[in-house]
A and B are shown apart, each in its own frame.
Chain A
Amino acid sequence: MYEILRKEDIAPRVCKYVVRAPAVARARKAGQFVIIRPKNDSERIPLTIADGDEETITLVVQEVGKTTAIMADLKEGDSLSDVCGPLGKPTHIEKVGTVVIIGGGIGIAPAHPIAQAMKVIGNRVLTILGARSQDLLIMEEEMRRASDEVIIMTDDGSYGKKGFVTHALQDLINAGNEIRQVVAIGPAIMMKMVCKVTLPLHIPTLVSLNTIMIDGTGMCGGCRVTVDGKTQFVCVDGPEFDGHQVDFDLMMRRQAMYLEQERLSYDSYVQKHRCKLTPEAEAL
């Protein structure tokens, strides 16, 4: 059992969990993830390790369905049934000069350790954070500490500049920054758009893919995507890939495979366990 030592709401339906998992904590590197099961009969879901120390790992999780809802209903002192990892290949961290880190929505959490590592090794780290609105923006403070400069974009203009992260990236390029590397983590559509900007300019662009997973060890092939025309398993060959080679359209379809069934699961969970509707659940 893996105890939740601290839990904090950091945005509507987004929680930060500090979990005791010493073996994982000691082995983890930037870019890696864990597979967790909140309860003994739960589904297995992948979550990026957003931070950590000798004994603990930090997870930042958005409630999107039943399993993340079960997590949200756990309290400090409760335990996760399973935490397996660290999985996936670590990010290749190299000193290249100027690096742009783009985090969209919940993708800011996994972008954080990469920004940290990129900075520690001596890169100039320019960070672009995107969110739908101000209240949904997470980890701004942590990201400022890990970056030389932070640009904030919101869809509705409620904070930072109004617009998408691609606009900010275009501005950085237009301003003459010698960008050697882009790392983009967020919704698939955001990563796809970022790659559209960087492809003609030949700026290497790393993306972190969040496909559906089960085992996370290369056993099922459920997480597979097409990269450069070849099949790759995100859990063992990734999660990071050269964004210019990823077939995002195919990946987005595979991500949506179980939407109907997931909705069913979620609705019945909310009905059963949150009969007195919380404001968050009511907002659904």
Chain B
Amino acid sequence: MSNWREVKTKDRLKIPAQKMKEQAPEARVRNMQEVPLGFTPEQAIQEAQRCLQCNNAKCIEGCPVGIEIPRFLAAVADGDFAKAVAVVKETNLLPAICGRVCPQEEQCQVVCTVTKALKSIENSVGIGKLERFVADYERIHGQAVLPPIPPPTGKRIGVVGSGPAGLTVAGDLIKLGHAVTVFEALHRPGGVLVYGIPEFRLPKEIVYKEVEYLHRLGVEFRYNFVVGKTLTIEQLFADGYNAIFVGTGAGLPKFMNIPGENLCSVYSANEYLTRSNLMRAFDFPLSDTPLKASKKVAVVGGGNVAMDSARTAMRLGAEAVYIVYRRSEKEMPARLEEIHHAKEEGVIFHLLQNPTKIVGDDKGWVAGMEVQRMELGEADSSGRRRPIPMKGSEYFLDVDTVIIAIGNDPNPLIPQTTSKIRTTKWGNIVVDPQTQRTSMKGVFAGGDIVLGAATVILAMGEGRRAVKAITKYLQDDDWTGTPEPIV
């Protein structure tokens, strides 16, 4: 084990990829507990030894925050998990979270040399899984050590929103000696990590532990505080904040504008998931927030949000759950792992189909959904082939609940109440891509409110970039050269 460095490339490529144990599908559809169970230390060491320690490590470029992956994996291979987690945390504040929800197969792992050598994405080095392993190891075996905090700079920064973007900014700024207040509209921190992504994919305890760590570092959290309503951005400046970071996410659910969409058992994915995750409807009547007891559920959409909704519906006791998606499986934006897990759990896929109307019964409940078949035409601007409706192909899908998971728009509260902050016509805040500066002096923005619905790691990457620019701004008060936002 100690001489793993001497093992030849050709032999390293022969080490089998380690499989993470998972709860069996039959068992897990009856509980909310996490599905993959994690590596054993032996497995982690084996897996890390599969890394070729490339000089030109493409994986680093694949990671939006540029984790020094070879150095991290060498530490794991040495069995020095504490050092491994320290390397990761140099650039990624939330490894237990990213290790679980990052689309690794499209980022660090797709460009990995092992992936290319073995011509198989399933056999890449399990960078994400190892990230999860070392972060869990640290969490379970003792408290994270607090880094030394420099003397107070006297500067106060307000962070709006406690999703991954906001948490990253808060954590980095407090370590520089600034006073940081996070304003969160809900009664719990974490943003989508807590209200959207289900417990069986990301245990909430992990998020709360990370927040507790920030709290120990001295970050102040103010819940039930809706910036734009409780106080506006301008009022926060008047209250003495020197800079503001806006990380309010893309929380505005889209609907399809088809007949029947406001019937009783039609939910946005946000509502369905919030009731289940944040408000713990799965525990009803032990918890106080109910959800309809559904028998047959149609989930419209093909992304992670749709998979999460479908798998939640299974766990809440539905007899049949359908994914209705207008393109083919190849175009689905959801992570492969999520599609795979959903299928294992019995979710049925209706591909190349699109709802045209939802039909109600005399009491206003959903009685079914009319669905039209589609075929794929030319590629559109996103490179995906455009679905075209097939005339006369409509049929009736027997369901009593419909969950709309076709995406979210940026949250409009801040732009609506702060006219100086420019947005695109879709409502995204316009920023200078190098500095995350907005059109309003002293205000930075990042994450889904800028990118549209994106990913956890991209939100964190934007936060990180903003921190650099905020630091500079607090020193030189310079706001010139911010490109005139394109509207």
Supposing A23-B230, A23-B231, A37-B187 touch, asked if A221 and B255 sit within 8 A by C-beta, the answer is yes
Which residues of chain A come closer than 8 Å to B229, judged between CB atoms?
A: 27, 85-87
Which residues of chain B come closer than 8 Å to A37, judged between CB atoms?
A: 187
Q: Mask for B164-207, Cβ within 8 A of A = 1, else 0?
A: 00000000000000000000011100000001000000000000
A221 & B271 in contact (Cβ 8 Å cutoff): yes
> Smallest distance from the beta carbon of B407 to chain A beta carbons, Å?
13
The chain A residue sitting closest to B268, CB to CB, is: A221
Q: Mask for B261-282, Cβ within 8 A of A = 1, else 0?
A: 1101101101100110001000
> Smallest distance from the beta carbon of B189 to chain A beta carbons, Å?
13
Q: Mask for A251-283, Cβ within 8 A of B = 1, else 0?
A: 001100110011011001000000000000000
B274 & A265 in contact (Cβ 8 Å cutoff): no
Supposing A220-B270, A265-B288 touch, asked if A250 and B262 sit within 8 A by C-beta, the answer is yes
Task: Tell yes or no: A163 within 8 A of B by CB.
Answer: no
Supposing A214-B274, A254-B364 touch, asked if A66 and B279 sit within 8 A by C-beta, the answer is no
> Smallest distance from the beta carbon of B98 to chain A beta carbons, Å?
23
A83 & B411 in contact (Cβ 8 Å cutoff): no
Interface centre among B225, B229, B265 (most CB of A within 10 A): B229
Which residues of chain B come closer than 8 Å to A86, judged between CB atoms?
A: 229-230
Q: How many residues of A contact B (CB 8 A)?
A: 41
Which residues of chain B come closer than 8 Å to A83, judged between CB atoms?
A: 224
Supposing A220-B268, A221-B255, A222-B271 touch, asked if A85 and B230 sit within 8 A by C-beta, the answer is yes
Q: How far is B289's CA from A220's CA once the two chains are assembled, in angstroms?
A: 14
> Smallest distance from the beta carbon of A260 to chain B beta carbons, Å?
9
A262 & B252 in contact (Cβ 8 Å cutoff): no
Which residues of chain A come closer than 8 Å to B226, judged between CB atoms?
A: 84-85, 87, 217
Q: How far is B288's CA from A42's CA once the two chains are assembled, in angstroms?
A: 6
Q: Which of A27, A66, A220, A257 meets B264, CB within 8 Å?
A: A257
Task: Tell yes or no: B383 within 8 A of A by CB.
Answer: no
Q: Which of B195, B223, B253, B363 meets A253, CB within 8 Å?
A: B363
The chain A residue sitting closest to B187, CB to CB, is: A82
Q: Mask for B205-224, Cβ within 8 A of A = 1, else 0?
A: 00000000000000000011
> Which residues of A come within 8 Å of B, CB atoms?
23-24, 27, 35, 37, 41-44, 66-67, 81-87, 214-215, 217-222, 224-226, 231, 236, 250, 253-254, 257-258, 261-262, 264-265, 268
10 new A-B contacts, CB < 8 A, other than A44-B279, A84-B185, are: A82-B224, A84-B224, A85-B226, A87-B229, A214-B279, A218-B413, A219-B195, A220-B271, A220-B274, A253-B364
